[in-house]
Structure 1
Amino acid sequence: MFHGSMVALITPMDASGAVDDRALRDLVEWHIAEGTHAIVAVGTTGESATLTVKEHVAVIRSVVQQVHGRIPVIAGTGANATAEAIELTRAAMEAQADAALLVSPYYNKPTQEGLFQHYSAITDACHFPIILYNVPGRTSGDILPETVARLAKRPNVVGVKEASGKVDRVAEILHLCAIHDASIEVFSGDDGAALAAMAIGARGVISVTANVAPRAMAQMMYAALENDFVLARRINDALVPLHRDLFAESNPIPAKWLLADMQRVGPTIRLPLTPLSESLHVRLRSALQYASSAPLSPAS
């Protein structure tokens, strides 16, 4: 059910700082038209850390309503408090999302046993497809492959977004799951390493780059899923500057600025994040222009 280019969607905001629901729905339509395979609402790139619970749930509902079953919707519902993660995951279930993506608890730095019990409590409370999210650079914690394999034995743990920066993690997770008679899908959480991850068993990418180059990411992932790595590499070569420069400042600062420059959303971003430094404007525009050289077929 979950594969290919899954955009970690930004959350548009108007000049007052409120969520811009119309712009959000327009982005959803653009992604569907461009071939994006799934939408992740209110993840890190969606500024989940600065949305209220009410806003968080409202964004999930809007995305689900606008998608209207055409592609899967994955709701970001992670929190560093297990009870809050359960509350958000239940809200995603009620909104009729297709799955929940739960970042590992940040700041409080649980042990591997704590991580196992955290996710186990969520899966016990919410009979709903769960995707683990490992991003040590954001959380200061690492869900080790052995813990992923333990959790993969739970029937509603269906995937893991692996963003440790270690491509070999994909193969290690799949190997441990196989020898422990468990099943899980692995998704890259690093755009720059996504193609390499696909070559060793990943099923797709939860992507920042797809925010600004959705058709290129979708066609690259489709080519990789079809084992056409010659075409996939050619597309990826055109995307390398975007993969790099979309992290020139903290995500989602560059992606949101570039979408505003493309006149798809307003430029507002919430503190403590700030607008993109002016010195990076030309660099981001150049990276997007270079991406247009990717060998793509017309949008369907």
Structure 2
Amino acid sequence: MSKFEQSKQKLRGSIAPIITPFTEDGSVDFETLESLINWHIESGSHGISVTGTTGEPSSLTIEERIQVIERAAKAVNGRVPFVPGTGSTNHEETLYLTKRASEIEGVDGVLIIVPYYNKPSQHALYKHFKKVADTVPNLPIIVYNIPGRTSVNLEVKTLAKLNTDCPNIIGVKESNKDFEHVNRVLLECGRDFLLYSGIELLCYPMLAIGGAGYISATANVEPKKVAEVYDAWKEGDVERAANLHYELMPLNDVLFKDTNPAPLKAALGMMGRIKPILRLPMDLPTKELQDEIRAVLQHYVELDKVTAK
């Protein structure tokens, strides 16, 4: 079995996209980051990711992103797969971050977002990802398609060509509400291509069409139940998987009433897991939304029994 075939067997389930915690002075809180990673692994998350959308990468310097990846890799310590985000709107930054990640022990693959803001053509997207893949030929790459953030949709034909031409492009995270599109990804790229949902309400449905799992922001708050959806499906307990899917729906809804990860950080602050701090231009939700988050959250966790940090 080739290295990439092994990766396709390994990188499945709930890969939790961890938030980047900050201290009161705005610096990265590495101690809390390590605590969160340990909590996720103990709760059953099947993999860990950092510095993706939920990790506020655009609010971090390049060096901070590398430091977060290094510290996270050390905290994971090979217990579950580790797939950090190394994409940027800047091509050279993406190359640099990806090459640095490839040199860090414990990195099992990388998640690379479609460049945002500059709205490249499909031809330009192909050249961008092809160059990155060729630069790190031994590193598994998961492309990250999130049209709502990038204003560009990576079309299925473009992804299929990348899959054909780049052996190390092994999957895609689709934060795409077009369920027809995600069905066609597996049709065109092959059923062994790793398809992950980045849309919370499609995490369970994506499994039904052959998805490898999901990278769900909600896992930051309910890692155990989010992971159990995949576990139940894998065990053939379709009813339990569906029940968990619907049980998580109110939490999914309220956590996306403001831009991710602002509601997540508010919720984690209420749970005592982090100091709820974001870097501008991001900020916490309004008091009204925070009250709504608290009201929903109390149905999932016992807030008064969590020790505040």
> Which band: TM-score by shorter chain?
over 0.9
> Percent identity, aligned pairs only?
38
Question: What is the deviation of 1:170?
Answer: 2.4
| Higher alpha-carbon deviation: 168-177 or 133-142 | 168-177
Q: Which of 193, 216, 227 pairs up with 2:202?
A: 193
1:129-155 per-residue CA deviation (whole Å, 9 max, x = no partner) reads 100000000001000111111111221
Q: Which residue of 2 aligns with 1:130?
A: 141
Per-residue CA deviations over 1:191-237 (Å, capped at 9, x if unaligned) read 11111111111111101000000000011111123332210111111
Q: Does the 8 A contact of 2:176 with 2:182 survive in 1? A: no
Q: Which residue number corresponds to residue 162 of structure 2?
A: 151
Q: In 2, distance between residues paired with 1:282 and 1:241?
A: 14
Map 1:87-236 → 2, pairs under 5 A = 87-96=96-105, 97-127=107-137, 128-153=139-164, 154-178=166-190, 183-236=192-245
Cα distance in structure 2, aligned partners of 1:90 and 1:25:
23
1:12: which partner in 2? 21
1:55 aligned partner, one-letter code: E
Map Cα deviations across residues 162-187 of structure 1 (whole Å, 9 max, x no partner).
Answer: 01111222221111123xxx852100
Distance 1:75 1:48 in 2: 11
- Check whether the contact 1:112–1:144 (CA below 8 A) recurs between aligned residues: yes
CA RMSD across the alignment: 1.4
Distance in 2 (CA, whole Å) between partners of 1:143 and 1:48 is 20
State the match for 2:66 in structure 1: 57
Structure 1 portions without partners, runs of 5+: 294-300
Structure 1 position 288, deviation (Å): 2.2
Output the CA distance in 1 between the equivalents of 2:234 and 2:132: 31
Give the distance between the partners of 1:23 and 1:234, measured in 2 at CA: 32
In 1, the alpha carbon distance for the partners of 2:27 and 2:157 equals: 41
- Partner-residue secondary structure (3-state), 1:290: coil
Aligned length: 290
**Residues 169/224 of structure 1: CA separation in 2 closer, same or farther (3 Å cut):** farther
Unaligned runs of 5+ in 2: 1-9, 303-309
Q: For 2:47 and 2:64, how far apart are their aligned partners in 1? A: 21
| Aligned-partner Cα distance in 2 for 1:135–1:75 | 16
Equivalent residue number for residue 262 of structure 1? 271
The answer to whether the Cα contact below 8 Å between 1:149 and 1:177 also exists between their aligned partners in 2 is yes
* Aligned 8 A contact 1:189 1:207 in 2: yes
* Alpha-carbon distance between aligned partners in 2 of 1:143 and 1:227, rounded to the nearest angstrom: 32
Is the contact made by 2:16 and 2:48 (CA closer than 8 Å) also made in structure 1?
yes
Which residue in the other structure is 2:305 paired with?
none
Secondary structure at 1:71 match in 2: coil
Q: What residue number does 1:83 align with?
A: 92
Query: Residue 274 of structure 1 corresponds to which residue in structure 2?
Result: 283
Indicate the residue corresponding to 2:5 in structure 1.
Answer: none
The TM-score normalised by the length of structure 1 is 0.94
Distance 2:194 2:174 in 1: 10
Q: Distance in 2 between matches of 1:38 and 1:183?
A: 19
Letter of the 1:288 partner, please give it: L
The TM-score, its normalising length taken from structure 2, stands at 0.91
Cα distance in 1 for partners of 2:296, 2:11 equals 28
Asked if residue 44 in structure 1 is aligned to residue 56 in structure 2, the reply is: no
Match of 1:243 in 2: 252
Q: Is the 8 A contact 1:238 1:291 kept in 2?
A: no
Contact (CA 8 Å) 2:117, 2:151: kept in 1 or not?
yes
